[in-house]
């Protein structure tokens, strides 16, 4: 595969400093205890599907975990938590907040 087509499925998004004031998007912090980012992305898309509005992933190699900030709609939050809890019983959730950055 040539370098120009190797990453044809990847795309970049622009970050704005803050979400719009009328946004119903919240950030749900999630910690997963492995460092396979590709598997984490696949799992999140498989579990949440179109409920997932965006996410940011950081790898914490020292603690051997992945920290994800999931962006979901406030109205879908309870359903997303239920789906993630059932599908990822070892995952840890953090405090729900407004997203620090906004993808547009």
Domain covering 23-99 in this structure, CATH number: 3.30.70.60
Q: Per-residue pLDDT tens for 22-80?
A: 678 999 999 999 989 999 999 999 999 999 988 999 999 899 999 999 999 999 999 99
Determine which helix (DSSP H) or strand (DSSP E) holds 30, and give its type and residue range. strand 25-32
Q: Per-residue pLDDT tens for 14-38?
A: 454 555 566 789 999 999 999 899 9
């Amino acid at each position: 595969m040539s370098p120009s087509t190797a990453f044809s499925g990847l795309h970049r998004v622009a970050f704005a400093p803050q979400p719009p004031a009328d946004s119903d998007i919240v950030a749900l912090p999630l910690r997963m205890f492995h460092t396979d980012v590709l598997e984490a992305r696949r799992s999140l898309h498989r579990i949440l599907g179109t409920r997932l509005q965006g996410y940011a992933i950081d790898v914490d190699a020292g603690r051997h975990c992945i920290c994800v900030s999931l962006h979901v709609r406030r109205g879908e939050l309870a359903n997303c938590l239920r789906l993630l809890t059932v599908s990822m019983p070892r995952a840890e959730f953090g405090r729900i907040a407004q997203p620090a950055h906004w993808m547009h």
